[in-house]
A and B are shown apart, each in its own frame.
Chain A
């Protein structure tokens, strides 16, 4: 059973518009959430994170929203740029060390930004 779910395998968005990637989780013990971005033939790279004590974290064009009651988080990218085309992984951790205790990943969403 998947504890972190990304139900959209792919998403196509026009350049300049907003991209919204969604993630759901089932484990109530998760208290730290991260988004990773992955280009082909490269390892995942950290993008943005949020602690369960917050409901929003913003970094430039990227904002992550957390709805604990719904066990749902989303990543907003605005405006979307061609370089944002990649696979985005949602990840969660339940350990006291946050991401340092090993992460549970979703299967990823392939974001395609169209010119």
Chain B
């Protein structure tokens, strides 16, 4: 398996623009997580899905952020409109529920909003 795949690896956009980050989880995993890493706050959980259903989105910072998982092999994290303070590395991770298991992370998307 290729692991969790995120795209793009890097994104530079202007303030006010819409940004869409993409994630393909490991095949067979039924939990998917979006994390954000910043210097100030470290790694924060934004939202997670179980079987394509959002379970906990309490970490989503504002209404400008939204996430979808239309099927078991694809998820998006959208920021609209983007702001400079959204600049961070965004990680997607997936895992298998039904037991104690670790989450596997993608390589991340480095977002810069100018």
Contacts and interface: CB of A to CB of B under 8 A. Distances in A.
A23 to B, nearest CB: 12
Given A100-B95, A105-B42, A34 B4 contact: no
Interface residues of A, number: 25
Contacts, number: 74
Given A97-B97, A97-B98, A102-B48, A46 B104 contact: yes
Interface stretch (A11-19, A36-44, A60-68, A74-82): A36-44
A97 B48 contact: no
Secondary structure of the A contact surface, majority rule: mixed
B42 A107 contact: yes
Given A41-B107, A43-B108, A44-B91, A105 B43 contact: yes
B33 A102 contact: yes
Contact of A100 (B35, B43, B96): B96
Interface of B: 4, 31, 33, 35, 41-45, 48, 50, 55-56, 91, 93, 95-108
Closest 10 CB pairs of A and B: A98-B100, A43-B105, A107-B42, A105-B43, A46-B102, A100-B97, A100-B95, A102-B48, A102-B45, A100-B31
